[in-house]
Structure 1
Amino acid sequence: MLTFSILTPENLALALLVASLAGVVKGMVGFAMPMILISGLGSFLSPELALAGLMLPTLTTNLWQGLRDGPRAAMASLGRFRLFLVVGAVCLFASAQLVGILPAGVLLTVIGAPLVVFAIWQLLGQPVTLREASRRIEVAMAVLGGSLGGLSGVWGPPVVVYLTALGTPKAEQMRIQGVLYLLGSIALVAAHTGSGVVTPASMAFSAALVPAALAGMWIGYRLQDRIDQAAFRRATLAVLLLAGLNLIRRGVMG
């Protein structure tokens, strides 16, 4: 079996467990799957294989998330955030070519620290809000998200900061994240076809993780449907705080 040619059955079983956990969290708050997969898989696999492993699970779960309310709602979200998508995709493609050349530690730390401050500030009851969408802030978040995504496969936190600051309702935030991350997932796979990360063996491994990720996401959806907007916001901020701390950890420790 092609998957077993690049990792042991024990490592595959552990990878399936990580994918299931990532699916549960994504189903609850709409993001963090790449963060959990890259951190979990990277603890016992090479960084390149961990990055490849997250590609197909994130793509399929984002497809489900983005289309959960139907194609028409997804297209409306696509139109609303088209600037974010274009800028983020350009930055993702550009930064993906620097994998293995540019040390990502500084970038991870610089992005992670503000996320931690933002999440703690919000959780302490000091809201940071935007009355309306700002093109400059949207472009800035797209640059951060795209650059981070190309280097590490994790592009969600800047998106979540922007949507949370806008006070986006739960259902709409889930849908918008799904649409944005779906196109980001496609761009990530395309960007790494020439970087050496995407190979037949690594994609077979990534495909093996898809059922576990989908099953976990189904559980996460059931949990998310039971909580209100306030609880959803707190859960989102808690995961965002963990995401920021994880980025700092990766930036400092490698």
Structure 2
Amino acid sequence: MPDIPTALFFTGFTFLLAGLVKGVIGLGLPTVAVGLLSIVMLPAQAASLLIVPSLVTNIWQLAAGPRFWNTARRLWPMMAGIAAGTWAGSGLMTGDTADEATIALGFALIVYAALGLAAVRPSVPAKHENWLSPVIGAGTGLVTAATGVFVIPAVPYLQALGLQKDDLVQALGLSFTVSTIALALTLAQEGVFAASTAAASLLALMPALAGMALGQWVRGRVSERAFRLCFFVGLLMLGGHLAAGAFT
């Protein structure tokens, strides 16, 4: 365990970097934060520390989108599934399979990013959304409960809906906001997210916001093609970081 000044610097840098990634590609704050902070603390503690930065930055991302109510009406079955799946997976992050779940998530991200970089564009017919959305949501909730990361299978599914850049970013913000709230309630129920942890999480908000502001400035100045490239390269890097645990 590093000394307090080193730990504070490392935590601040982690959330600055995580916010930057999120600002550019619309996701990644939990993945980067939990992955890096797990070097110096338990994954459940790292997940608790990211609650406030994740919630605020996701609400910011959600509010910045163009059509909130349309997005919410379309995706509410998925959001309900996320809440139910996270509740059903309570205890997974602190259980014996937490490391294996994180490694599996890393490999799943690598596969998805490789497909995206290869220009494979999956699609979900509108007639299947009504039943598929809650299933995807429940799966995302279970992964959230096990790893503290909200990406799989939510991101591939939202990508498959064929949303435009800004609509996709807003849909991600909605999904991640619901996931963060569900995760916070689950960790609080398990006694991991307490008042002292919430205060520490609040302190991590400033570097996360600074990083996200910088990332959004960068994203606002790239083309659709460059945005997609950043999106999938970012996923590939995040997945590689998580999967590296299989070789250590």
- Residue in structure 2 matched with residue 209 of structure 1 by the alignment: 204
TM-score normalised to the size of structure 2?
A: 0.90
Change (3 A) 1:44 1:114: closer
| Structure 1 residues 170-249: aligned runs within 5 Å | 170-249=165-244
Residue type of the partner of 2:199? A
- Residue in structure 1 matched with residue 82 of structure 2 by the alignment: 88
- Residue in structure 2 matched with residue 51 of structure 1 by the alignment: 47
Whole-angstrom CA distance in 1 between matches of 2:229 and 2:135: 24
Change (3 A) 1:147 1:27: same
- Unaligned 5+ segments in structure 1 are 1-5
Whole-angstrom CA distance in 2 between matches of 1:82 and 1:22: 27
Residue type of the partner of 2:74? R
Question: Shift in Å at residue 56 of structure 1?
Answer: 0.7
Are 1:63 and 2:59 matched, yes or no? yes
Whole-angstrom CA distance in 1 between matches of 2:127 and 2:107: 23
- Residue in structure 2 matched with residue 3 of structure 1 by the alignment: none
Change (3 A) 1:126 1:56: same
Q: Verify the 8 A CA contact 2:143 2:152 in the aligned structure 1.
A: no
Q: Verify the 8 A CA contact 1:25 1:217 in the aligned structure 2.
A: yes
Q: Verify the 8 A CA contact 2:110 2:236 in the aligned structure 1.
A: yes
* 1:205-224 superposed Cα distances (whole Å, 9 cap, x missing partner): 11110011011100011001
Question: Shift in Å at residue 19 of structure 1?
Answer: 0.3
Residue type of the partner of 2:58? N
* 1:27-80 superposed Cα distances (whole Å, 9 cap, x missing partner): 11110100000011111223232111111100010111111137xx22221111
RMSD value, Cα:
2.2
* 1:145-194 superposed Cα distances (whole Å, 9 cap, x missing partner): 11111122101242221122233211001111111211211111111112
Residue type of the partner of 2:110? V
Q: Verify the 8 A CA contact 1:122 1:128 in the aligned structure 2.
A: no
- Unaligned 5+ segments in structure 2 are none
Q: Verify the 8 A CA contact 2:92 2:98 in the aligned structure 1.
A: no
- Residue in structure 1 matched with residue 151 of structure 2 by the alignment: 156
- Residue in structure 1 matched with residue 141 of structure 2 by the alignment: 146
| Identical-residue share of aligned pairs (%) | 26
